Amino acid sequence: MKFISTRGSSPDVWVSEAIINGLAPDGGLYIPQVLPHLDMKHAPSYKDYPQLAHFVLSPFFEGDVLEDELLDICKEAFNFPIPLHFHNKNEAVLELFHGPTAAFKDFGARFLAITMERLLKKSDKKLTILVATSGDTGGAVAAAFHKRENICVKVLFPKGRVSARQEKQLTCYKDNITSFAVDGSFDDCQKVVKEAFMDKELSSKEGLTSANSINLGRLLPQMVYAFSSSLEMKDKCHEDATVIIPSGNVGNSCASLYAKEMGAPIKSIILSVNSNTTIVDYINSGFYEGRASISTLANAMDVGDPSNMERIFYLYPTHESFMRNLSAVSVSDDEIIESISDVYKNHHYIVCPHTATGEKVRKDLSLIEPTIVYATAHAAKFETIVEPIINQIVEIPSSLSALLEKEQHYTSIKPDYHLLF
Ligand SMILES: *Cc1c(COP(=O)(O)O)cnc(C)c1O
């Protein structure tokens, strides 16, 4: 299988090249030339996640240098539980937070790190990953790339503007990971990274690359749990489920839309967003306009111009086809608070502010078919928001507490990319 650019003027590449390149040379995003239709009669059981992952991802690796290693990559990347938690017979939550940093970003970051390490071993090259983070992404990338050969990671975060727990997760590594507390905002961190990439001499000398959510190596693995969860629901309820996805850069949503097109038993897909309403406004008006982001309680979804929209528009180019295949609902901060409280009262279950947007949408729509809400992070990562609402301490998962106990290492810098090297 070859991959093409959404903008149509880059050479076709194998999946490995698309992963190493990140962005296509014409500035577009890599997408599969065709979306294969899978015969679910031949699918392995949803209970064996690595085998199912291999089945779903095989067509994309056909002909690639990593084709024969795909099953091993899946076994290594997805080595934690991915349970579907049932509130009742028809309503489930897909817990995507049992990885090392307690958010679904672990799926993409781990798959990307493992494929990159294997590719570099074959080519004798070295890479440096630059990642600017406002919270979750940097932690997942650092954890996934820690101690991987021939790759170093430089994590930039805005000094004093991430939560105490987030800061610990960003600074608890040594070895090939270096953390920088930048004197400035998240936008300043992003600017420093962009400027480093624009310095062509430095960029090629250091082998600079990014690990952001447009990389195919992060997108592809996120299709697998759309299959596993909908297959489990079908097995238990004998019906196709509606899937509700808390969304920001719409990487998760794009991957689930691909899964539905490929034959996963999904009835419909609904995006829950916060007060950043770009997608909802597009659905209502037929006119798409990216804008600046607004800060909300679900901060990992504070995106005004979602980077993966270009892939979804390629899939559903007209307003009519877009509306036929997905819908979106906006949830305010007040509704997030109400939803965290409701879910705790009604189901004795604690959700993070992102997952709360999905639960709110489920409650308001009261659909007859079975529903799955993606739980994108563990509530313990957002304890300062969640604990006062439910008046209860949120227990920290053991993976996270291990990270929180480690010593912190970081360098404080002014926003100047020369100081990173
Ligand atoms: C990144 C993130 C999201 C948004 O996911 P996208 O793929 O960017 O739409 C939602 N919730 C949490 C907790 C996240 O970290």
377 CB near ligand 1 (under 6 Å): yes
C-alpha 301 to ligand 1 mean position (Å):
6
- pLDDT mean across residues, the chain: 95
pLDDT at residue 26 tops 80: yes
Q: Give the pLDDT score at 150.
A: 95
Q: Which is it for strands 84-86 and 411-413: parallel, antiparallel or unpaired?
A: unpaired
- Contact call for residues 216 and 18 (beta carbons, < 8 A): yes
CATH number of the domain to which 93 belongs: 3.40.50.1100
Say whether both 276 and 302 belong to one domain: yes
Tell me, using a 6 A CB cutoff, whether residue 105 lines ligand 1.
Answer: yes
Residue 137 sits in the same domain as residue 40: yes
Tell me, what's the pLDDT at 243?
A: 98
The answer to whether residues 163 and 123 belong to one domain is yes
Number of structural domains found in the chain: 2
pLDDT digits (tens, 9 = 90+) for 70-101: 999 999 999 999 999 999 999 999 999 999 99
Q: Which structural domain range is residue 351 located in?
A: 77-103+219-397
Instruction: Say how many Å lie between the CA of residue 66 and the centre of ligand 1.
Output: 28
Do 233 and 146 share a structural domain? no
* pLDDT score at 164: 87
Q: What is the pLDDT, as a whole number, of residue 124? A: 85
pLDDT at 16: 96
Q: What is the mean pLDDT of residues 20-44?
A: 94
Whether 354 is in a domain gets the answer yes
Establish if 86 belongs to a structural domain. Answer: yes
Give domain status of residue 405, yes or no.
no
Please choose from 252, 305, 326 the residue to mutate so as to test ligand 1's pocket, defined by most ligand atoms within 8 A of CB. Answer: 252
* pLDDT value for 78: 98
Are 172 and 288 contained in the same domain? Answer: no
Residue 164 shares a structural domain with residue 179? yes
Q: How far is the CA of 418 from the centre of ligand 1 (A)?
A: 31
242: which strand partners? Answer: 268, 371
Residue 414 lies in a domain: yes
Atom of ligand 1 nearest to the CA of 248: 9
- For tokens 């059981």, the residue is 45
Q: Could you report the per-residue pLDDT of 309-319, keeping only the tens digit for each?
A: 999 999 999 99
Confirm or reject: Cβ of 230 under 6 Å from ligand 1: no
**177 and 133 housed in the same domain:** yes
Residue 163 lies in a domain: yes
Over residues 163-186, the mean pLDDT reads: 93
Confidence of residue 210 (pLDDT cuts 50, 70, 90): confident
Ligand 1 within 6 A of CB of 376: yes
Paired residues of 244 in beta bridges: 270, 373
Q: Is 2 inside a domain boundary? A: no
Is residue 225 scored above 90 in pLDDT? yes
Indicate whether residue 272 lines ligand 1 (CB < 6 A): no
pLDDT at 213 over 90: no
Asked if residue 404 belongs to a domain, the reply is no
**Same domain as 223, residue 145:** no
Claim to verify: residue 53 and residue 139 sit in the same structural domain: yes
pTM equals 0.96
Residue 353 and residue 281 share a domain: yes
Q: Sorting pLDDT into bands at 50, 70 and 90, what band is 293? A: confident
Ligand 1 pocket test target in 249, 302, 383 with most atoms within 8 Å of CB: 249
> Quick check: is 22 in a domain?
yes
Whole-angstrom distance, CA of residue 266 vs CA of residue 256: 9
Please state which of the ranges 102-111, 130-139, 175-184 shows the lowest mean pLDDT: 130-139
Torsion of CA 276, 280, 286, 292, to 10 degrees: 0
Shared domain check, 89 and 167: no
Per-residue model confidence (pLDDT) at position 28: 93
Question: What does the pLDDT read at residue 407?
Answer: 94
Quick one: 110 and 202 in the same domain? yes
Lowest mean pLDDT among 134-143, 150-159, 166-175: 134-143
Distances (CA, A) of 347 to 101, 260, 327, 393: 25, 29, 26, 17
% of the chain surpassing 90 pLDDT: 88
For residue 44, what are the β-bridge partners? none
Best residue for ligand 1 mutational test, from 214, 376, 400 (most atoms within 8 Å of Cβ): 376
Asked whether the predicted pLDDT for residue 135 surpasses 80, the reply is: no
